Amino acid sequence: MATAPIDSDAHRAPRAVRLPSTGALADRFDRPLRDLRISITDRCNFRCVYCMPRAVFGPDYAFLDREQLLTFDEIERIARIAVGHGVRKLRLTGGEPLLRRGVEDLVARLAAIRTPDGTRLEIAMTTNGSALAVKAQALKDAGLDRLTVSIDSLDDELFQRMNDVRFPVARVLDGIDAAHAAGIGPIKLNMVVKRGLNDGEIERMAERFRGTPFTLRFIEYMDVGTSNGWALDDVVPAAEIVERIGARFPLDPIPAAVPGETARRWRYRDGGGQIGVISSVTDTFCGTCNRARISTEGKLFTCLFATEGHDLRALLRGGASDPELAAAMASIWGARDDRYSEERASLTPELRATRQRIEMSYIGG
């Protein structure tokens, strides 16, 4: 499958550009490609214990050099081609995306892309919130629609222990307020729950964000990468989380709004808003998974747990044309048969341990 050549003169100011349709893609299980997550840096100013533990990501850790990262021109080009293939939502992530210099300019370029029928995309970002108080207005002005901010605890001592860089939770809360004041929305808050670490915070977090404009989502601690020492016993099942919150504040389930939704949503019966639970371990959702990920150095991953990516940067820098890039993406998606979360249960701990996995900070969440 090929696109007509795309006018990708990325040095000009962002402008709305229509793409010729290449037709939507379907993988081996008939899943379309809708959501592209782009990791724009592998670096982070936090060392969350479940993601970039200091023992692995210490002073000697070899992060990527600048020339290894995809440039904004390259990211924009991949995004345009992916949109021609059916992508309707772009999410910038990392590492910490707000650390990438000029991130607002990238948001503006991506926000200028139009689907074949002239519709705007949804531009989202996942961030630790540490720089939001400074960056929120610029991100809004650039065209950022949605934001997910990670916040794992309201207890400052525990929050600092989890980010392991002594970053105070109050500054993340200020950043969330700044984003809301700037008009970015919806804003979702992600809490990764690890048993014995922050599961004591579940009810307190629910109570704090009930009745606010923010939707709190509880994420089961996952076995991404190989550095966090994951064990099944560390996972607090989503059902337990819902039961605990429901005992305090009765909840009713909400049906999925769109196919491929990662979170199962619940509404407070008294009108206090809603919560989400992302049960990637105990109740998987591979069947509707329409997400692809681009790593910081331009590899296309068709699953968060993929062992290898497809090197789009080599194609980009090797002089591939837009139709060639589009054809490469189409054939990668067409061959996709990933469903790791569904298979996880059948893997023995030994098999799981020997399977190479990509770090979340490299591939993006």
Which positions lie near ligand SF4, rule CB under 6 A? 44, 46-48, 51-52, 94-96, 128, 150, 285-286, 289, 291, 303-305, 338-341, 361
* Closest by Cα among 5, 36, 100 to 324: 5
Pair 10, 76: CB distance under 8 Å: yes
- Encoded one letter per residue, x for contact with ligand SAM by CB under 6 A and - for no contact, window 7-26 reads --------------------
Question: Is 93 a binder of ligand SAM (CB under 6 A)?
Answer: yes
3-class secondary structure, 39: strand
Question: Among ligand SAM, ligand SF4, none, what does residue 222 contact (CB within 5–8 Å per kind)?
Answer: ligand SAM
Amino acid in position 222: M
Residues 140-159 that bind ligand SAM (CB under 6 A): 150
Question: Is 51 a binder of ligand SAM (CB under 6 A)?
Answer: yes
Choose, by CB under 6 A, the member of 86, 94, 175, 298 that binds ligand SAM.
94
Pair 107, 143: CB distance under 8 Å: yes
Residues 157-216 that bind ligand SAM (CB under 6 A): 190, 192
Distance CA 313, CA 16 (A): 25
Cβ 59 to ligand SAM shortest distance, Å: 20
Q: Which is nearer to ligand SAM, 3 or 198 (CB)?
A: 198
Tokens of residue 283, six digits = 């109740």
Question: Among ligand SAM, ligand SF4, none, what does residue 108 contact (CB within 5–8 Å per kind)?
Answer: none
Q: Using only C-alpha atoms, what is the Rg of the chain?
A: 20
* Closest by Cα among 144, 147, 150 to 120: 144
What are the residues whose beta carbons fall under 8 Å from the beta carbon of 268, sequence distance 6 or more? 210, 249, 250, 251, 274, 275
Question: Is 228 a binder of ligand SAM (CB under 6 A)?
Answer: yes
Helix 72-84 crosses helix 103-111 at what angle (to 10 degrees)? 30
Cβ 132 to ligand SAM shortest distance, Å: 11
Question: Is 44 a binder of ligand SAM (CB under 6 A)?
Answer: yes
| Other CB atoms within 10 Å distance of the CB of residue 68 | 12
Distance CA 79, CA 95 (A): 19
Q: Which is nearer to ligand SF4, 3 or 295 (CB)?
A: 295
Cβ 270 to ligand SF4 shortest distance, Å: 32
Pair 214, 176: CB distance under 8 Å: yes
Cβ 323 to ligand SF4 shortest distance, Å: 28
Where along the sequence are the contacts to ligand SAM (CB under 6 A)? Answer: 44, 50-51, 93-94, 96, 126-128, 150, 190, 192, 219, 221-222, 224, 228, 360-361, 364-365
